[in-house]
């Protein structure tokens, strides 16, 4: 009798232990955080990225979460840190994130933050002489070309503007054979706008035989564009390319309308293919063509856009990258076999870095993204133009 009682008690204890272990496994969490500008005048970018990450992780968790090395499941916890598009704050935020149990960070928003921020990371992995931060960063928004080369801990899922604009100007050359000349307009004090005009758009246009007949410059908070538009009017360009963010793009487009400047083709900056432009100046922006790595053109992209909208955000080429990054990280973590414990934090971060570095392709919302050896991505894209109050696909180079 006594023996029977002992066996029963032992079985109950074992069951309780097993149950508590199972419950413990279900309670396991790992942290993947986002950071970028979620306040300030470019705060909408961070808010959309935050919403996209949150929606993506919610989907992953609903599907069972991620798999750890021991085969148990863990849920993803996330949080979004605000750097206000300020380099000092961005660096401080990343140092703070690295001091927590976060495995990897998605961000930042602004290229002027990304460039100095990547500089505090260890440039070459396993370089004992380099005391830089050893923390993986997977960038979604900051789009200025070539930044991943700064550190081997940096990976980017931003589209290649060089490739997109090269294709765009080739397409314009083919579609509008009468268009010969181009005039550029650039927001001179914003890193992305400057880089895209001087190093990407201008180069691509000239490579495809367009003759540059002038350039106009303005600043981010300018409110008067009459001088700049006058030069444009006199040059009578066939193509006008505006490399500026929505506020000044809208100001310039209105001034162009006032001065009756009607180019055959109007080209815009990737970041302007957003709701902001349509909200600010839909009438004047009609027809402006912009290459973008996101448009709701298939079921998966539509579902993602709806999930993000339910979180109060909007999916565009920037925030779509945040969604994709979340999904890519899920796959990398599942394959890498991380432990997910405080003791293995550094090793887990390294495994994620190595997993990202080993990728040659990754699934994206518009198709397969190529992962390049330097940490950059080459993503599928489409050309959209403003039609009414929406962006419509005018050409799909992949189709």
Partner 1 sequence: MDYFFIIDFVQSLADGLLFGTTYALIGIGFTLIFGVMRKLNLAYGAAALAGTYVGLGLFLTFNAPPFVVFLASAIGAGLIGLVVYYCCFRFTPEAHPMASLLASVGMLLFLEEMMTHVSHGMPHPYPSVLSGATLELGDIWIRGDLLFVFGICVVAMALLFWLLYRTPLGLATRAVSQQPRAAQLCGIDSARVNALTFVIAGVLGGTAGAMTAAAVGILSPIIATGLTVKGLIVVVIGGLGSIPGAIIGGLLVGAAENIFLLLRGVTERDIYVMLLLFLFLTLRPGGLFGSAATRD
| Residue 110 lies near partner 1 (rule: CB under 8 A) | no
Q: What span, in angstroms and rounded, lies between the C-alpha atoms of 230 and 275?
A: 28
Segment interacting with partner 1, rule: CB under 8 A, options 66-74, 251-259, 352-360, 386-394? 251-259
| Residue 262 lies near partner 1 (rule: CB under 8 A) | no
| Residue 390 lies near partner 1 (rule: CB under 8 A) | no
Size of the site for partner 1 (CB under 8 A): 35
Task: Provide the 10 A C-beta neighbour count for residue 363.
Answer: 12
The least distance separating partner 1 from the CB of residue 40, rounded to whole angstroms, comes to 6
Q: What span, in angstroms and rounded, lies between the C-alpha atoms of 229 and 17?
A: 75
Segment interacting with partner 1, rule: CB under 8 A, options 52-60, 103-111, 112-120, 274-282? 274-282
Segment interacting with partner 1, rule: CB under 8 A, options 21-29, 59-67, 254-262, 296-304? 254-262
- Asked if 94 and 106 count as a contact pair (C-beta separation under 8 A), the reply is no
Q: Alpha-carbon dihedral of residues 99, 104, 105, 106, nearest 10 degrees?
A: 180
Compose the 11-40 pattern: x for residues touching partner 1 by CB under 8 A, - for all others.
----------------------------xx
Cα angle, residue 222 at apex, residues 219 and 223 outer, rounded to 5°: 155
For partner 1, the binding residue among 99, 279, 298, 361 (CB under 8 A) is 279
| Residue 220 lies near partner 1 (rule: CB under 8 A) | yes
| Residue 44 lies near partner 1 (rule: CB under 8 A) | yes
- Asked if 87 and 116 count as a contact pair (C-beta separation under 8 A), the reply is yes
By C-beta, is 252 or 352 nearer to partner 1?
Answer: 252
Q: 126, exposed or middle or buried, with CB in 10 Å at 0-12, 13-18, 19+?
A: exposed
By C-beta, is 222 or 331 nearer to partner 1?
Answer: 222
| Residue 191 lies near partner 1 (rule: CB under 8 A) | no
Q: What span, in angstroms and rounded, lies between the C-alpha atoms of 25 and 59?
A: 19
Cα angle, residue 393 at apex, residues 391 and 395 outer, rounded to 5°: 145
By C-beta, is 69 or 235 nearer to partner 1?
Answer: 235
CA atoms within 13 A on the CB side of 385: 14
Binding site for partner 1 (CB under 8 A): 39-44, 47, 188, 217-224, 226-228, 230, 234, 246-247, 250-251, 254, 257-259, 275-276, 279-281, 284
């Amino acid at each position: 009798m006594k023996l029977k009682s002992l066996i029963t008690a032992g079985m109950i204890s074992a069951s309780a232990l097993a149950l508590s272990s199972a419950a413990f496994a279900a309670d396991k969490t790992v942290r993947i955080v986002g950071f970028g500008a979620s306040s300030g005048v470019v705060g909408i970018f961070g808010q959309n990225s935050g919403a996209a990450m949150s929606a993506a992780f919610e989907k992953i968790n609903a599907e069972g979460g991620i798999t750890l090395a021991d085969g148990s499941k863990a849920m993803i916890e996330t949080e979004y840190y605000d750097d206000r598009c300020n380099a000092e704050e961005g660096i401080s935020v990343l140092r703070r994130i690295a001091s927590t149990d976060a495995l990897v960070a998605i961000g930042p928003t602004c290229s002027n933050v990304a460039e100095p921020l990547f500089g505090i990371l260890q440039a070459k992995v396993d370089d004992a002489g380099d005391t830089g931060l050893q923390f993986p960063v997977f960038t979604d928004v900051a789009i200025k070309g070539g930044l991943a080369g700064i550190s081997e801990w940096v990976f980017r899922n931003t589209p290649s503007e060089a490739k997109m604009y090269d294709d765009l100007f080739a397409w314009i050359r083919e579609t509008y054979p009468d268009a010969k000349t181009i005039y550029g307009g650039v927001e001179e004090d914003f890193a992305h706008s400057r880089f895209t005009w001087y190093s990407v758009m201008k180069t691509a246009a000239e490579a495809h035989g367009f003759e540059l007949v002038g350039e106009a410059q303005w600043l981010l908070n300018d409110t008067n564009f009459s001088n700049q538009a006058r030069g444009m009017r006199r040059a009578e360009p066939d193509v006008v390319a505006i490399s500026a963010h929505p506020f000044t793009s809208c100001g310039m487009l209105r001034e162009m309308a006032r001065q009756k400047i009607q180019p055959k083709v109007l080209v815009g900056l990737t970041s302007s293919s957003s709701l902001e432009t349509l909200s600010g100046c839909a009438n004047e922006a009609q027809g402006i063509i912009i290459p973008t790595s996101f448009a709701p053109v298939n079921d998966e992209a539509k579902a993602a856009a709806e999930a993000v909208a339910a979180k109060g955000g909007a999916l565009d080429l920037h925030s779509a990258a945040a969604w994709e990054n979340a999904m890519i990280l899920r796959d990398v973590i599942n394959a890498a076999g991380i432990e997910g414990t405080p003791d293995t934090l550094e090793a887990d971060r390294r495994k994620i870095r190595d997993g990202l570095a080993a990728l040659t392709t990754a699934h994206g919302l518009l198709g397969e993204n190529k992962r390049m050896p330097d940490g950059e991505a080459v993503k599928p894209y489409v050309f959209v133009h403003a039609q009414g109050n929406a962006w419509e696909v005018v050409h799909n180079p992949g189709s």
